[in-house]
Amino acid sequence: MKKFTSTLSLIVLVVLAIWQYFTDLTKTKNQSPSPVIKQMKQTKASEPKFEPQFETKRTDIEKSAVKNPNVFANYDVIMRDDPIGQNAKAPVDYYMLALSWSPGFCDIQREKYGDQLPYSSQYQCGNNRTFGWVVHGLWPQNANALSVTDHPRFCKGDLPALPKDLLARYLAISPGEQLLQGEWEKHGSCAFDFAQQYFAKEQELFSSLKLPNQSLSRNELFRWMKQHNPQLKNAYLGASRNELFICYDKKWQVMNCQSK
């Protein structure tokens, strides 16, 4: 009898031990992990995933536009596409204000393209446009230049597209977003810290001039300008087809343009 009782007690103890084991196991599964385990999991989750690093390839226009995501750079200018290229080391000795007779320029554009004007000319030469003289650009010049490539150009490299609202302020005197963008990148950046300073100086010089409202021959144009603008009376001016050039020293006083 005692032997039977001992055996029964042993069985009961084994059953209780098994029940206690599974009960503890269930509780452990339902409990949150220990702080140590939790910290290990968080550390593992926060570790950056290693991936091979490759340079994202972009076109030049994308590289320029991405610097200013608020504009669509269909008017941006790409330095590598410029036929003259960069000259960031040329000195700035004086300035040349280049004015363009818009009707003559637009006639050439229509002869070349018909009704399919390029984007760069649409604002200036589109239907119902009545521009007269406009600002082509304000160009820093090297007094010892022997060719156009010797003058300062793209001094700060390929710059990002300017905001449309900035360009819009100057379309009345320089009619084209691409024109303004290009003149800033190619010329303005060689003498001005900010595009707005450059455009404001163009506007100031342009506003100081009286200009004829009709097409004139070269000599007629020079006579008219000197007659109606006393500051130009003794200055040597320059001209090419549909363009007039007025030169200024570094103190913005009118000076003779070089004949070469």
Handedness of CA 60, 63, 65, 67 (dihedral sign): negative
Range of 151's domain?
60-255
Question: pLDDT value at position 129?
Answer: 81
CATH number of the domain at 244, please: 3.90.730.10
Asked whether residue 96 carries a pLDDT value surpassing 90, the answer given is yes
Amino acid of residue 206: F
- Which residues have a Cβ under 8 Å from the Cβ of 166 and sit 6 or more positions away? 195, 196, 199
Which stretches within 146-241 are classed as H helix? Answer: 164-168, 177-186, 195-207, 218-228
Indicate which residues carry an active-site annotation. 136, 183, 187
The candidate with the shortest Cα–Cα distance to 136, out of 95, 173, 172, is 173
**Residue 39 is assigned to a structural domain of this protein:** no
pLDDT in tens, 225-251: 999 999 999 999 999 989 999 999 999
Which of the 8 DSSP states describes residue 241?
Answer: T
Contact 210, 228 (CB under 8 A): yes
Question: pLDDT value at position 74?
Answer: 81
**Residue 49 is assigned to a structural domain of this protein:** no
Confidence category of residue 128, pLDDT binned at 50, 70, 90: confident
Question: pLDDT value at position 45?
Answer: 40
Bridge partner residues of 116 (DSSP): none
**Residue 201 is assigned to a structural domain of this protein:** yes
Structural tokens at position 208: 């100081």
- Which of 65-74, 79-88, 115-124, 154-163 comes out lowest in average pLDDT? 65-74
pLDDT in tens, 12-61: 565 566 656 655 555 544 444 444 444 444 444 443 333 333 232 333 33
Distance CA 234, CA 100 (A): 22
DSSP for 30-68 reads HSPPPHHHHHHHHHHHHSPPP----PPP--HHHHHHHT-
**Residue 5 is assigned to a structural domain of this protein:** no
**Residue 243 is assigned to a structural domain of this protein:** yes
**Residue 33 is assigned to a structural domain of this protein:** no
Confidence category of residue 119, pLDDT binned at 50, 70, 90: confident
Higher pLDDT, 36 or 86: 86
Structural tokens at position 86: 């960069």
Span 98-108, mean pLDDT?
97
